[in-house]
Amino acid sequence: MIQSNAIFGETLYKMIKASNINKSYGILKVLNGVSIDIKKGEVISIVGPSGAGKTTLLHILGTLDREDSGTLEINETLISSLNEKKLAEFRNKNIGFVFQFHHLLPEFTALENVCIPAFIAGTSKNIAEERAKDLLNFLGLSERIHHKPNELSGGEQQRVAVARALMNNPSVILADEPSGNLDSKTAKELHNLFFTLREKFNQTFIIVTHNQELADMADRKLIMRDGNIV
């Protein structure tokens, strides 16, 4: 069964420490000295106009991209000290991703899609499938585990993507416009789900969103403009 890791409200430490993060693509400077500290168990929303650098920051915090300068620590690990192999292992173990486009593999069932991060980590098939079933049951999808993505509604597909993000019990969940393709009712259900997950697993959530309702639900709402937090 799925077990809670911690109770929100215990002594918190900094899960993420980013200092003076700079990033450019050619002559275009996207991040301009961003610094941010995020505690374990916090839900942080990041808002701002298109082109403000929100997704670039999220990709760097998720170790999908490297900063040009500055330092990033996640769960007390200095990211720049990791080579590409160690970084991939760290990402697989510590970070889960939920995107606007859920990126489920169409030829695989919900169960198989959720198991993928565990298989990458070397988890046995039996153990991976047991945890995947627990997660899908927790998310209300126990009757849909053998359905492929095209047999699921948009909200169901996004919950499968959430289960996949949770598969390796990561410390941090990063979400980029997670409800952007959902109707208002399903979006609200997804937003509430994030807080249910925080209460149960004490995970840290960083959510880039244009949805003001979701942004205002967060413990902190950060506004980005011109490559920095204002």
Percent of the chain's residues with pLDDT above 90: 42
Domain boundaries, the chain: 42-65+82-229
Considering the segment(s) 42-65+82-229 as one domain, its CATH architecture is: 3-Layer(aba) Sandwich (3.40)
User: Is the entire prediction scored with pTM above 0.85?
Assistant: no
Residue 132's pLDDT is what?
A: 94
Asked whether the CA dihedral 86, 92, 93, 96 is positive or negative, the reply is positive
pLDDT in tens, 97-145: 887 666 789 999 999 999 998 998 889 999 999 999 988 988 888 898 9
Residue 225 · residue 34 · CB < 8 Å = no
Pairing of strands 172-176, 204-208: parallel
| N residues, the chain | 230
Joined tokens for residue 78? 């200095």
Q: What is the pLDDT of residues 144-197, one digit of tens each?
A: 899 999 999 888 888 898 889 888 888 899 988 877 766 777 777 778 888 888
Please report which confidence band the pLDDT of residue 14 belongs to, taking 50, 70 and 90 as the band edges. Answer: confident
Determine the Cα–Cα distance for residues 143 and 109; give it in Å rounded to an integer. Answer: 12
Q: How many CB atoms neighbour CB 155 within 10 A?
A: 18
- 163's enclosing H/E stretch is helix 154-166
Q: If 0-12 CB within 10 Å is exposed, 13-18 middle and 19+ buried, where does residue 50 land?
A: exposed
- Whether 140 and 159 have beta carbons less than 8 Å apart is answered as yes
